[in-house]
Structure 1
Amino acid sequence: MKFSEQWLREWVNPAISTEALSEQLSMAGLEVDGVEPVAGEFTNVVVGQVVECGQHPNADKLQVTKVDTGDGELHDIVCGAKNCRLGIKVFVAKVGAVLPGNFKIKKTKLRGEPSNGMLCSESELGLADSSPGIMELPEDAPVGQCAREYLKLDDVSIDVDLTPNRSDCLGMLGLAREVGVLNNMPVLQPEEKHIQPSIDDTLPIQLDAPEACPRYLGRVIRDINPTATTPLWMMEKLRRSGVRAIDPVVDVTNYVLLELGHPMHAFDLDQLEGGIVVRYSRPQESLTLLDGNTVELNENTLLIADEKKAVAMAGIFGGEGTGVTESSHNIFLESAFFAPTAIAGKARSYGLHTDASHRYERGVDPQLQRRAMERATELLLDIVGGEAGPVTEAVSGAHIPADKTVELRHARIAHVLGVSLPEARIEEIMQCLGFSLKANENGWSVLVPAYRFDISIEEDLIEEVARVYGYNNIPNTAPVASLTMTRQQEARVNIYAFSQTLISRGFQEVITYSFVDPKAQSRLHPSIPSITLPHPISADMSVMRVSLFPGLIQTVVYNQKRQQPRVRLFEQGLRYIQDENAENGVRQERVLSGIIAGTINDEHWGMEARPVDYFDLKGDVEAILAKTNDLNSFEFVAEEHESLHPGQSASIYRNNEKVGLIGSVHPEHERKLGLHGRTFVFELDLDKIEQRQLPVSESVSKFPANRRDIALIVDENVAAGQVLSAIRKVGGNQLVDLKLFDIYTGQGIEPGQKSLAIALTLQDKERTLEEKDINDVVDRVVESMSEQFKASLRD
């Protein structure tokens, strides 16, 4: 909000400079964005009166004048303004004057006639960007008085950037109240007058939407003077507040808006058909606004209407058909309270933003309507005359915002601010802000004034105390806090360790949406029911994910479309499964998922550029599982999954409990989802793989280790992992290491069979193993493999 400093000082005048006032407002939360002079720099400009005015003998568009400036002589001045005429009072730049832009006035001749000065327009004095002619002054303007003194131009406009919660400061009343509190000074408000009606004319008012408009006041004013002009003092206050003067009636409503912070509107009474109805718009209803644009009204738009048509968008913009014009003789004045929720966002939906909507959507004082009506009536009767009828009020008390009482504890203030303030000082601050206090054993019960919509909890009141007391006055005290070591479960692997492992292997972490395309999810997981969002962002983001695959696959497609030949991504997050036994019917499971596509390496002359395969991703997953120090407890078992290739998918088990899956995306899904080339994915249940086997210290054997290699011939359908797991179980404590170093099929091996070359490392901590001990272990292993897998030693 922009306002004149002089206007503010008419209400409250602290003995501080403009800079100090700006700093004070900013520190109180009303940030000052700028301070600008209200006029350009000029000198030697005075009030003058045109005592002679005639046609220039040598120019059709110029006039020759003689002007009295109060210095005992008449000045010959040539003027080209159309509104220059005999008897008017104007601002005169005398010879030697300097106007804005360092424009100096000298004696000169214009088309042969002497011109010793210049009659000035608003734009030439820096009072406006443009002007149609010279500036005309009231008849009572004293001839010879300095222009700066006459208009009190030694003033600045202060632009305050208010946060949305401080709508009470969108008027001079609220700003003066703040400055008064900050300087502990009384505020000199304009005297409230009650205008006695001189006629009995009224209009009936009907509230069809009381929840949106619980209070509406109206007043008829007849026989106004349509030729009246807005007084210069009001035009100047409007101009310095960034508002352009239009006509007296509109200027008065704008002045009351700036003075009290309450929007008003005036209708041409003769254009209204019947009484006033406050209602919502109807289907296919339209309204032509004051700016000439016609808008099709949404059904949830609050309107002011008469008995036949809409006449204004409530709290936003008036209609052209009932607007006050130069020919208006009778008006209907409106002052209403509209609920913020009924106005918020409506103006923007039509591409509008008005001073009224700016205030109503933030909240105005629900008790201020009658005061605004009386003040506007007083000003209108003084300026345009007329006869005022009684104020008609329609009100729904049940929908007027109720008074709020908030408890404020003295101990809580000290705890939050870190400083203990005297109770008397706290009471003084609260009372200056307009709050009513009632003491109790813990502090006070505070009755919040109606205009403070932003006060609802105790901390709001504490903030008020802090900003008025002064943030700079609160001592800088270093906080004292005891530090407690956070508990870290050594037997639990941190997700960071898993993430770093994948990053070190060339993966990049992504974060995708928890809501996904229902078509893509049902294609990947047709047997798992999805949770549908009641109000989705869009149709393709309308269900909660049951795995992280849809988001990862979509990310790979996005990258492949941008010529990325190698993609390796992972994500850790939640999947959402319907479960009647879970809280709110949804089981949230923490999972870690990854995906690879494209080539195994970036293009390089020294590295192979082959496409990724199942075993590449399996190696990455094993690197993750190795963080548990218990890799042998995990097993990859070939199993089919509805989203994966039947021949290239496996489930991952830990001690016979399923903890995840891995495999190639089904070729049919690859085609329909837009993937290029083979794509491999995995997903692990974090809660089931985070448990780590703690290391146990053992003495290092001082006796030599012995290696024995055996080659077992087994059926080709037997998994090597099963064989190795079985050997570990029967090998005993002396088997300290086990490696599969070769798989062979071909000459010498029967069709349907394969040879597994396995290295056994044997060692004892107590003695050197003899040949017989080693052979006993090897024989036991071979015998057990023969029984379990019908294996035989290869010759």
Structure 2
Amino acid sequence: MKFSEKWLREWVNPSISTNDLSEQLSMAGLEVDDVASIAEDFSGVVVGEVVECGQHPDADKLQVTKVNVGENELLDIVCGAPNCRSGLKVAVAKVGAILPGNFKIKKAKLRGQPSFGMLCSFSELGMGEDHSGIIELPSDSPIGEDIRDFLSLNDKAIEIDLTPNRADCLGIKGVAREVGVLNQLDVVEPTIKDVESTTETSRDITLSAPQACPRYLGRVITNVDLSQPSPLWMQEKLRRSGIRSIDAVVDVTNFVLLEMGHPMHAFDNDVLSGSVEVRMATAGERLVLLDESEVELKENTLVIADQEKALAMAGVFGGLASGVTSTTTSIFLESAFFAPDAILGKARQYGLHTDASHRYERGVDPSLQMQAMQRATQLLTDIVGGDVGPVIEAKSDEYLPKPIELTLRASRLKRVLGIDIDGSRVSDILQRLGLTPVYSNDAWTVTVPTYRFDISIEEDLIEEVARVFGYNNIPNIAPTAKLEMCDASEASISGSRFKHLLTDFGYQEAITYSFVDPKKQSLMFPELVGLTLPHPISADMSVMRVSLLPGLLTAMSYNQKRQQANVKLFETGLRFLPDENEKTGVNQRATIAGVLSGNTASEHWSIDTKPLDFFDVKAHVESLLSFMFNSQDIEFRKETHSALHPGQSAAVYKGDLLLGFLGAIHPKLEKPMGLNGRTFAFELDLVNISTRNLPQASKISKFPVNRRDIAVTVKEDVEIGKLLKTIEKIGIDDLIDLNLFDVYQGKGIEPGYKSLALSLSLQNLERTLEDAEIQKSVDIVINSLKQHFSASLRE
């Protein structure tokens, strides 16, 4: 929210500087984002009056004026503004004045006519973009007064960034209340008089959706003159709050919005038909909005309607057909309370965001509607006149928020904050916050005001006291505590162990969004249906990920397009799979995944360039799994995967438990995913690999190890992993190591066959093995290979 510092000080004026005020607001939770001057530096500009205004003899678009600036002589000034006229009070830059941009005003001749100054527009004084004409000052402006003093231009515009729970501070009234509490000052609110009705003209109101709109006020004002401009003081307050002046009706509703934090809307009463109804939209109903865009309303949208059509999206945006125009002579003024749940998300649903929806979806004071109506009526009638009808109110007490009572215990306050705050100070804080405290039995009973939607439990009251008392005033005292060691399972492996290992392999950790492009995800995982977000950030981030790979591959593409040849990325996070058996309807699985592309090493004259391949990523996966399992417990099975190359993909199993998959990204995905060259990937389920078998102490043999090498020939389609697993499962007790050290195809080997050279290491714990025992074990291995793989011993 952006507002003028001087406007705030009209309500409450602490004796502190702008910087101190900003610091105070920030420390109280109303973070100040920016403090800026509301006008650029200039000097020598005063209030003047155009006494004479005539046509320039040699220029059609110029006028020759005589201007009274309170000096002995009138100033001759040539002006080209179309709104210059006799009797107008204007901003005059005299000779010697310095305007923004270090522009100095000097004596000049324009088309032969002398000019001793300049009549200024808002843009020329650095007060906005309006350069359509010169500034028109009020008729009672004092001639000769410095314009900076007259318009209070030595002012600052303060912009605060509010958290969603502080909707009560989305108006000057709320911010002033906070400043008053922080400085123990009373807030002086402007006097708001009830405007008595002068006509019986009114319009009936029906609440067909009382749960969404439990209170709605309407008032008809006829015979208004919208040719009357808003007063300069109002235009300036709006401008300093970042809002452009449009016309009197819009300016007044915007002014009330900024002053009280209460949105309002005005309809052209003459185009309304019958009574006003607050109802839910019907299916297929359409509405043209004030920005001339047309929307098809959904049935969950609350609308303001007459007896024929929808007029506006309640609490969000008005309709074009019922909007106030320059020819409007009768208006219907609306002031309503819409339940936050009824407005929440509706603006985004239609791709909109308005000042009204920003406030209504966070919560507007349900007791403020009549005050806002009277304030707007008072301002409007002062500007555009008119005959005022009675205020018609429709409400449902059943659905209006009820004030709640809470108890703040002094003992609890002291225990949580760690300090003892004087009871009278606590009472003053609660009173100034509008909580009307009653102290009894060492506790305060408070009634939470309707504008504080964020206070619902005792801890909220403790937070309020601490916030206002000042976090900086709470001494930094270490708490007294007894520490106990937390239970930790030695079998559990933290995710950081995996991260450190991958970092050692040259990977960089990435953090990607949990929502991804549905098109890319469906290409990679056509068999999995992701959860669709009801209100996505964008179309290409509209479904929850079923794997970490779509995000990682997008990050890979991003880096490759920026000339990064060798890229290794990994990520740990959740993937989201729809599951009706889960309480929330979604199975969230902790996962670790990685992608890599490029060469095994950076380019160097002493190293041969070798591109990464399947066995590089397999080695990384084996290293990750080595924390938990022995190599013989893990099996890499050749399996196809929708995202991976059919000939270069594998699934990782421990028994029948699937741990994950790895392989090369399918060539058909390289172009859609924006990849450059071959890319490899792996993904493992962290839940299944985060618990290890603890090492068990075992006796070490003091007897020699015996190695025997054998070479067998098998068909070339035999999987070596299965062959080695078969040997391990034979049950040779003395076999302590098994290694494949050579694979050969060529001369001496039949076509379609391959030769495998294996080393068998045997050792006994109790004695030295004899040759006969060793040979028996070797024979068992050879016979098993013959039986299962039709292997033959190569001589």
What TM-score, normalized by structure 2, do the two folds share? Answer: 0.76
Question: Are the equivalent residues in 2 in contact too, given 1:602–1:609 (CA < 8 A)?
Answer: no
Output one character per residue of 1:449-490: Cα deviation in whole Å (capped at 9) or x when no partner.
111223334443333222211222222334666655555555
1:4 maps to 4
Q: Distance in 2 between matches of 1:628 and 1:622?
A: 10
Question: Helix, strand or coil for the counterpart of 1:194?
Answer: coil
- Could you say if the C-alpha distance between residues 609 and 352 of structure 1 is closer, same or farther in structure 2, counting changes exceeding 3 Å? closer
The amino acid that maps onto 1:318 is G
Q: CA deviation at 1:787?
A: 11
User: Any residues of structure 2 matched to 1:477-556 within 5 Å, and which?
Assistant: 477-478=477-478, 485=485, 489-490=489-490
- Could you say if the C-alpha distance between residues 775 and 577 of structure 1 is closer, same or farther in structure 2, counting changes exceeding 3 Å? farther
Question: Helix, strand or coil for the counterpart of 2:49?
Answer: strand
User: Any residues of structure 2 matched to 1:89-488 within 5 Å, and which?
Assistant: 89-291=89-291, 293-299=292-298, 300-439=300-439, 443-478=443-478, 485=485
- Could you say if the C-alpha distance between residues 305 and 584 of structure 1 is closer, same or farther in structure 2, counting changes exceeding 3 Å? closer
Q: CA deviation at 1:629?
A: 8.0
Question: Are the equivalent residues in 1 in contact too, given 2:341–2:361 (CA < 8 A)?
Answer: yes
Q: Distance in 2 between matches of 1:591 and 1:491?
A: 19
The amino acid that maps onto 1:342 is A
Q: Distance in 2 between matches of 1:432 and 1:11?
A: 14
Q: Distance in 1 between matches of 2:371 and 2:35?
A: 31
The amino acid that maps onto 2:693 is R
The amino acid that maps onto 2:259 is E
Q: Distance in 2 between matches of 1:100 and 1:549?
A: 55
1:527 maps to none
Question: Helix, strand or coil for the counterpart of 1:424?
Answer: helix
2:697 maps to 696
Q: Distance in 2 between matches of 1:44 and 1:187?
A: 36
Output one character per residue of 1:407-456: Cα deviation in whole Å (capped at 9) or x when no partner.
43434444444433223222211211111334465743432211122333
Question: Are the equivalent residues in 1 in contact too, given 2:107–2:117 (CA < 8 A)?
Answer: yes
Question: Are the equivalent residues in 2 in contact too, given 1:596–1:681 (CA < 8 A)?
Answer: no
- Could you say if the C-alpha distance between residues 782 and 514 of structure 1 is closer, same or farther in structure 2, counting changes exceeding 3 Å? farther
Q: CA deviation at 1:176?
A: 1.4
Q: Distance in 1 between matches of 2:689 and 2:53?
A: 100
Rg larger in 1 or in 2?
1
- Could you say if the C-alpha distance between residues 568 and 264 of structure 1 is closer, same or farther in structure 2, counting changes exceeding 3 Å? closer
Task: Name the count of aligned residue pairs.
Answer: 768
**Runs of at least 5 residues in structure 2 that lack an aligned partner in the other structure:** 672-676
Q: CA deviation at 1:584?
A: 8.3
Output one character per residue of 1:133-160: Cα deviation in whole Å (capped at 9) or x when no partner.
3333333333344433433333333233
Q: Distance in 2 between matches of 1:229 and 1:684?
A: 68
2:732 maps to 728
Cα RMSD for the two superposed structures: 5.5
Output one character per residue of 1:131-190: Cα deviation in whole Å (capped at 9) or x when no partner.
433333333333344433433333333233333332222222112111111110111112
Q: CA deviation at 1:16?
A: 1.8
Range with greater deviation from structure 2 (577-586 or 214-223): 577-586
Question: Are the equivalent residues in 2 in contact too, given 1:742–1:758 (CA < 8 A)?
Answer: no
1:774 maps to 770
Q: CA deviation at 1:695?
A: 4.5
The amino acid that maps onto 2:38 is V
Q: Distance in 1 between matches of 2:583 and 2:464?
A: 41
Question: Are the equivalent residues in 2 in contact too, given 1:592–1:686 (CA < 8 A)?
Answer: no
- Could you say if the C-alpha distance between residues 747 and 483 of structure 1 is closer, same or farther in structure 2, counting changes exceeding 3 Å? same
Q: Distance in 2 between matches of 1:650 and 1:62?
A: 84
Q: Distance in 2 between matches of 1:587 and 1:121?
A: 63
The amino acid that maps onto 1:696 is A
Question: Are the equivalent residues in 2 in contact too, given 1:710–1:793 (CA < 8 A)?
Answer: no
The amino acid that maps onto 1:469 is F
Output one character per residue of 1:337-367: Cα deviation in whole Å (capped at 9) or x when no partner.
1223333444445554433333223321111
Q: CA deviation at 1:3?
A: 2.2
Output one character per residue of 1:605-640: Cα deviation in whole Å (capped at 9) or x when no partner.
9889799789x99887776676568666x4869999
Range with greater deviation from structure 2 (485-494 or 240-249): 485-494
Range with greater deviation from structure 2 (106-115 or 155-164): 106-115
Question: Helix, strand or coil for the counterpart of 1:728?
Answer: coil
Question: Are the equivalent residues in 2 in contact too, given 1:63–1:78 (CA < 8 A)?
Answer: yes
Q: Distance in 1 between matches of 2:49 and 2:286?
A: 51
Range with greater deviation from structure 2 (740-749 or 67-76): 740-749
The amino acid that maps onto 1:358 is H
Question: Are the equivalent residues in 1 in contact too, given 2:700–2:765 (CA < 8 A)?
Answer: no
- Could you say if the C-alpha distance between residues 444 and 720 of structure 1 is closer, same or farther in structure 2, counting changes exceeding 3 Å? same
- Could you say if the C-alpha distance between residues 742 and 446 of structure 1 is closer, same or farther in structure 2, counting changes exceeding 3 Å? same
Q: Distance in 2 between matches of 1:254 and 1:125?
A: 24
Question: Helix, strand or coil for the counterpart of 1:195?
Answer: coil
Q: Distance in 2 between matches of 1:130 and 1:577?
A: 55
Question: Are the equivalent residues in 1 in contact too, given 2:617–2:680 (CA < 8 A)?
Answer: no
- Could you say if the C-alpha distance between residues 556 and 272 of structure 1 is closer, same or farther in structure 2, counting changes exceeding 3 Å? closer
Q: Distance in 2 between matches of 1:582 and 1:290?
A: 45
The amino acid that maps onto 1:451 is Y
Question: Are the equivalent residues in 1 in contact too, given 2:214–2:399 (CA < 8 A)?
Answer: yes
Q: Distance in 2 between matches of 1:110 and 1:793?
A: 111
Question: Are the equivalent residues in 1 in contact too, given 2:533–2:542 (CA < 8 A)?
Answer: no
Question: Are the equivalent residues in 2 in contact too, given 1:219–1:334 (CA < 8 A)?
Answer: yes
Range with greater deviation from structure 2 (296-305 or 779-788): 779-788
Question: Are the equivalent residues in 2 in contact too, given 1:598–1:612 (CA < 8 A)?
Answer: no
- Could you say if the C-alpha distance between residues 447 and 71 of structure 1 is closer, same or farther in structure 2, counting changes exceeding 3 Å? same
Q: Distance in 2 between matches of 1:609 and 1:696?
A: 42
- Could you say if the C-alpha distance between residues 445 and 693 of structure 1 is closer, same or farther in structure 2, counting changes exceeding 3 Å? same
User: Any residues of structure 2 matched to 1:38-49 within 5 Å, and which?
Assistant: 38-49=38-49
Q: Distance in 2 between matches of 1:397 and 1:482?
A: 52
Q: Distance in 2 between matches of 1:736 and 1:659?
A: 26
Q: Distance in 1 between matches of 2:244 and 2:20?
A: 29
Q: Distance in 2 between matches of 1:597 and 1:34?
A: 45
Q: CA deviation at 1:391?
A: 0.7
Range with greater deviation from structure 2 (168-177 or 268-277): 268-277
- Could you say if the C-alpha distance between residues 587 and 781 of structure 1 is closer, same or farther in structure 2, counting changes exceeding 3 Å? farther
Question: Are the equivalent residues in 2 in contact too, given 1:630–1:693 (CA < 8 A)?
Answer: no
Q: CA deviation at 1:249?
A: 3.0
Q: CA deviation at 1:259?
A: 1.9
Q: Distance in 2 between matches of 1:577 and 1:8?
A: 52
Output one character per residue of 1:104-155: Cα deviation in whole Å (capped at 9) or x when no partner.
4444444444444444444444444334333333333333444334333333
User: Any residues of structure 2 matched to 1:749-788 within 5 Å, and which?
Assistant: 761=762, 774=770, 777=773
Q: CA deviation at 1:369?
A: 0.6
1:526 maps to none
